[in-house]
Amino acid sequence: MLWAHCTAVYLITVFVCFLLYHEYDYISSKRNAYFYSSKPQPHQYTILVRGIPVSPGSSVSESVGNFFKEYHSSTYLSHVVIHRTNRLFFLIDYVKKIYRRFKHKQSEPVKEYSRFDDSFGVQKSNLENGDLEESLITEQWDASFSGQEVRSAFVFFRSRFGAAIASRLQQSEKPTEWVTEQAPEPDDVYWPFFQATFLQRWMSRVVIIVASTLLTVLFLIPVVLVQSLANLSQLEVWFPFLASILTAKVTRQIVTGYLPNLILQIFVKLVPPVMEFLSSIQGYISFSEIQRSACDKFLWFIIWNIFFANVLSGSFINLFSVLLDLRNIPSHLAVTVPAQASFFIAYVVTSGWTSTSSDLFRIIQLIQSLLRKCCCCNRTASDEFELPYIYYHREIPKILFFGLLGITYFFLAPLILPFLLVYFLLAYIIFKNQFLYVYAPKFETAGKFWPTVHNCMIFSLVLMHAIALGIFTVKKLSSASTLIFPLPVLTLLFNEYCRKRFLPNFVAYSAESLIKKDREDLNDSEMPQFFSELITAYMDPALSPLQCSDFDGHGVPSFSDISNDHIAPLLSHA
């Protein structure tokens, strides 16, 4: 049996590595194909510059213009300096809210209309007189022209290659000044974080990494606390009227069996939004980066809190003392992992099958929408409707975690495999359906999530090797453990090779592709039109002219007194 196990471990490793290599290769080539087939897109021609030094007596805009005219004269096209728009953002939000209340009241019967309270009356008259609108436009004007410039700018280039040169070479002698990076898609830009300096961004990054590590590591403490509070006798004290139900044997079993699990599930459900929030204040400039970062955070969160916490089950301190004693990790795992096999089979069924199927019905969203219709009846339902999009940072880690279970348990408890197979089939069908008919993509991922998937699979393999090593050591089969030993090393080397071989393609496109694509566009008659649109593509939503459709979502203008010359773009471009 020993040799069968050993061979199985080797075979599955080779097989998974083979699949990983080909998938990396395939997605890498798909990425290139996507790039070659894409139309000219604004973000390909744009870079984001931060840490712009300003000499006294000149504005940020002048600095940017001078610098890029000086050093990138042949490809530089134009730029847009980013403005401080926090106040404006709140003002616009306020105006939209009032407008909506106003619209709603208008559509109600007159008897309701006459019962306007005083403050709303004032607001209404403000709105009708155009006072608010005027203050809004004044504020926009201020933000654009009176020194509220932030030391960041979007810079546009005439070619993709020119943008790549400017974004990938260190521009200034001081590495903290003129920090450049490729811009995200215009819709994907996350605006609030452009004001931070290099040091602030770096600090917030460090703080967030520490915070999310603490959240991951200490998460179980509140969960255990709440679980200990929500036991049967406590429930009887809180809800005395339930006493009769709770004494029934079936109810007791359900409550003692499912309540702790339910509490854990609710807590876990709260984590992806928290991780997304943490990522959003980490200094990223696009939603896609925020989601990728949140995805990584949630993945490690799940692996730690579902796998390790269950496997090394015991108190939090116990967990630490096990992990700090490096030598004995494999033997610890060898003892505890097989013991949890039935738990994880149950987990696949309860959490995997059900959560994936429930995605099909989107019950929570349905309830949310119904609740909103009933309670918040001061808004029209159509106000709130927007196309649903998939939360990658919530779904990808879950799927990967089932992959990890499959790899670590395949030789300890092969019974888990058919359950996982059903799960993956379900997930494939359901997600394919959802992608085709339900979700609208919020941004183009361009395959950039794949390295996360690859790394997680490599981690699963190494974890599996560690467990196998531990089992052979515990059973005192030293020849088998010697045989397994090179396997994790080889797997990590394979990973390192893949990093060299494929990862660069996921970070940036090559000079060859950029230049080829640029040449294709040379004779395209639509390019002048594209360039003129490019300059206005990156416009802070707070500074863009307010359309009445922004207010009610219908696209039907109803402010009769906003004259069209007010709607002209307020930003000038250098």
How far are the Cα atoms of 18, 241, 287 from residue 48, in angstroms, in the given order?
38, 62, 15
Strands 46-50 and 149-157: antiparallel
Minimal distance in Å, beta carbon 39 to its own copies?
20
How far are the Cα atoms of 81, 83, 161, 236, 247 from residue 255, in angstroms, in the given order?
59, 55, 63, 12, 11
Q: Which is nearer to its own copies, 209 or 360 (CB)?
A: 209
Q: Which is nearer to its own copies, 127 or 322 (CB)?
A: 322
Minimal distance in Å, beta carbon 428 to its own copies?
30
Long-range CB pairs of 121-128, under 8 A, 24+ apart, other chains included: 123/98, 126/98, 127/95, 127/98, 127/99, 127/102, 128/561
Minimal distance in Å, beta carbon 502 to its own copies?
7
Minimal distance in Å, beta carbon 199 to its own copies?
8
Minimal distance in Å, beta carbon 2 to its own copies?
26
Q: Which is nearer to its own copies, 512 or 526 (CB)?
A: 512
d(CA 193, CA 84): 10
Minimal distance in Å, beta carbon 400 to its own copies?
25
Comparing CA positions, the residue from 323, 270, 317 lying closest to residue 298 is: 270
> Which tokens hold the place of 324?
């700090």
Q: Which is nearer to its own copies, 165 or 527 (CB)?
A: 165
> Which tokens hold the place of 158?
């005439």
- Token pair 């209404």 in the structure block, residue: 124
Q: Which is nearer to its own copies, 421 or 489 (CB)?
A: 489
| Contact positions vs its own copies (CB under 8 A) | 32, 70-71, 164-166, 168-173, 175-176, 178, 198, 202, 206, 321, 324-327, 493, 496-497, 500-505, 508, 510-513, 515
Q: Which is nearer to its own copies, 20 or 268 (CB)?
A: 20
Minimal distance in Å, beta carbon 152 to its own copies?
17
CA atoms lying within 13 Å on the CB side of residue 468: 32
Q: Which is nearer to its own copies, 441 or 504 (CB)?
A: 504
Paired residues of 78 in beta bridges: 156
Count CB atoms within 10 A of the CB of residue 99: 21
Minimal distance in Å, beta carbon 455 to its own copies?
17
d(CA 170, CA 153): 16
Q: Which is nearer to its own copies, 440 or 493 (CB)?
A: 493
Q: What's the burial of 463, exposed, middle or buried (CB within 10 Å: 0-12/13-18/19+)?
A: buried
